[in-house]
Amino acid sequence: MYSGYLTDVGNLKVGHAQNFDGLTGVTVIIPEKGAVCGVDVRGSAPGTRETDLLRPENLVEKVNCVMLSGGSAYGLNAASGIMKYLEEKELGMDVTVCRVPIVVGAVIFDLAVGDPHCRPDLEMGYEACKNSKTEDTSMGCIGAGTGATVGKILGNDFSMKSGIGQASIQIGNLKIAALTVLNAFGDICDAEKGIQIAGVYSREEKKFLDTMKIYEEKTANYNAFNRATNTTISIVATNAKLTKANCNKISQMAHDGYARSIEPVHTMFDGDTIFTIATGEVETDISFVGMTAAKVISRAISNAVYSSKTTKGLISYEDINL
């Protein structure tokens, strides 16, 4: 039911660039005519850019790009390349003397799975924009999902490979879609099927372990942060007519999709963030969009697991279900 991709919404371009040796990358979502945007941050270790602009009381109404990046805080540097690309295309807010591209974004921590000194930068951000297209079906280990993993409480030896997942739905003229970079501390389930599909995995025993039970058995001074630095970041896109306040509310409701699919979620070790962009074509009910967005987010999370491939010793769903 929730098959499809973010670009199904229309008037959007999605692009990716990555370094497979360093296991990191960047993904850009470019609304061709600009889009109203909101955000909701629930994790306690976020890395974000320009999210204050998205408060309803602030000036800017539309964004020109949403950036999702690896590289932790270093990955925010990719926005410089995105700014360069958009300025060359004469896209941005007219401030009389020039146009200033409005680029919002968030990052995941992937420094511990590849080369920690390989990070998304200006060149990679620019390349992702050059690669952007109006029909993007990319999922798995690409773009910002190149170094994404899940189930990290015991470190890389027990974690699993994840990546980017997408999903969409159309109900009448209304379109709602999501793209997720799944890089969670916790275990992952397919909420529609009610089964675990990724998380802490024992290669020796060939079975999933339980993050919550592992945590319970650890001593009070166990520092999970040293083994688990994470963050799941997503974008919801819709062709609905929405305000910034509406988009913020939908982002808030969409986090229910995280809660259905990730256990535990929104921890001190996650910077979980969801953006919502609206292209403004269809009148609809805000609550309905939010409820549906949560379901689409949940499906995108599952698709990120199903689309992943074993990479540099990080096992994937495909290889534990042969």
* Dist. CA 18–CA 320, nearest whole Å: 26
- SS3 percent helix, strand, coil of the chain, rounded to 5, is 30, 30, 40
What is the enclosing helix (H) or strand (E) of 78?
helix 78-88
Closest CA to 275 of 78, 68, 18, 137: 68
Q: Are 40 and 79 in contact (CB under 8 A)?
A: no
Q: Which of 143, 140, 75 is nearest to 103 (CA)?
A: 75
Q: Please give the Cα distance from 238 to 240 (Å, whole number).
A: 5
CB contact at 8 A, 260 and 2: no
Q: Name the DSSP letter for residue 320.
A: H
pTM, to two decimals? 0.95
Taking only the tens of pLDDT, the chain with its 322 residues reads 567 999 999 999 999 999 999 999 999 999 989 999 999 999 888 999 999 999 999 999 899 999 999 999 999 999 999 999 999 999 999 888 998 999 999 999 999 898 999 999 999 999 999 999 999 999 999 999 999 999 999 888 999 999 999 999 999 999 999 999 999 999 999 999 999 999 999 999 999 999 989 888 876 666 665 555 789 999 999 999 999 999 999 999 999 999 999 999 998 888 899 999 999 999 999 999 999 999 999 999 999 999 999 998 899 999 986 4
Q: Are 175 and 8 in contact (CB under 8 A)?
A: yes
Report the candidate in 82, 39, 79 with the shortest Cα–Cα distance to residue 60: 39
Tell me the CA end-to-end span of the chain in Å, nearest whole number.
25
Helix axes 286-306, 244-261, angle to 10 degrees: 40
C-alpha–C-alpha distance, residues 93 and 101, integer Å: 6
Q: Is omega for the bond preceding 31 within 30 degrees of 0, making it cis?
A: no
Burial class (CB in 10 A: 0-12, 13-18, 19+), 177: buried
